[in-house]
Chain A
């Protein structure tokens, strides 16, 4: 994400996007509803951790193959383009998940 020009906002946006696409909820709801200890990913159910790991690995792989080609007129545009990749990846990953 960083190699493609994404800033800290981009990362935060990506977490919200992938959580919404993969689990139909917010990060806060995910922790609350699964009984995980907030801010500690390793306390989420294993299936949830695996879904994140799979999606983030594949998104990182796709972004890596696009390095240097994303571009944009300003930081917001770069972030939006990176997030569009994360969103599309998350939609595909979701189809493999049992829920």
Chain B
């Protein structure tokens, strides 16, 4: 449905549209002052450059992930279970980096893993976490590893799911 895929780099107008959309959702229920959006984006740099908007987009997507999180396992089976056909696939690592800046981020992931592999989640939900494991795998060996041994988690998951 979305016109943006991983194989196509997002163009500036699409990035801007995404930033505004996510910003609006994050302000649901709040009174917004005129010019507040422009002011907020300005904090990321010069608004003439795409990198400024990409930085804002990744920050707001991470904020969207944490501020909408009612059940931590949804972060692993949906929010961060990136697939190549998703519009945000291209920026998955930058979004996840921003997410990890939150002090509660690792706790959220840990809680999600406990829920998925320790409780009554079904086989399908455990299968949906594969996109998240792949994201972690891609980060192994970079400076982006999060400290969880991914193979060990997979093994535990496989044992429980079997």
A binds B: yes
Say if the beta carbon of B142 comes within 8 Å of chain A. Answer: no
Assuming the contacts A8-B79, A75-B2, asked whether A39 and B28 have C-beta atoms less than 8 A apart, the reply is: no
Say if the beta carbon of B138 comes within 8 Å of chain A. Answer: no
Chain A minimum-CB-distance residue to B29? A20
Tell me whether A40 and B72 are in contact (CB under 8 A). Answer: yes
Chain A 19-38 near chain B by CB (<8 Å), digits 1 or 0: 11000111110000000001
Tell me whether B67 and A27 are in contact (CB under 8 A). Answer: yes
Tell me whether A78 and B68 are in contact (CB under 8 A). Answer: no
Return chain A residues, CB-CB under 8 Å to B3: 74
Say if the beta carbon of A16 comes within 8 Å of chain B. Answer: yes
Q: How far apart are the CA atoms of A24 and B79 in the complex, in Å?
A: 24
Interface set of A (CB-CB < 8 Å, partner B):
5, 7-9, 11-13, 15-17, 19-20, 24-28, 38-41, 52, 72, 74-76, 78
Interface set of B (CB-CB < 8 Å, partner A):
1-3, 21, 25-26, 28-29, 64-72, 74, 78-79, 81, 86-87, 104, 107-108, 111-112, 115
Taking A12-B65, A15-B69, A15-B70 as known contacts, 7 extra A-B pairs with beta carbons closer than 8 A to each other, sorted by chain A number, are A11-B74, A16-B28, A24-B29, A25-B29, A28-B66, A39-B107, A39-B112
A-B pairs with beta carbons under 8 Å apart, 30 shown: A7-B2, A8-B78, A9-B64, A11-B78, A12-B25, A12-B64, A13-B68, A15-B68, A16-B68, A19-B70, A20-B28, A20-B29, A25-B29, A27-B67, A27-B68, A27-B69, A28-B67, A38-B104, A38-B107, A38-B108, A39-B71, A39-B72, A39-B104, A39-B108, A40-B71, A40-B111, A41-B70, A41-B71, A74-B1, A75-B2
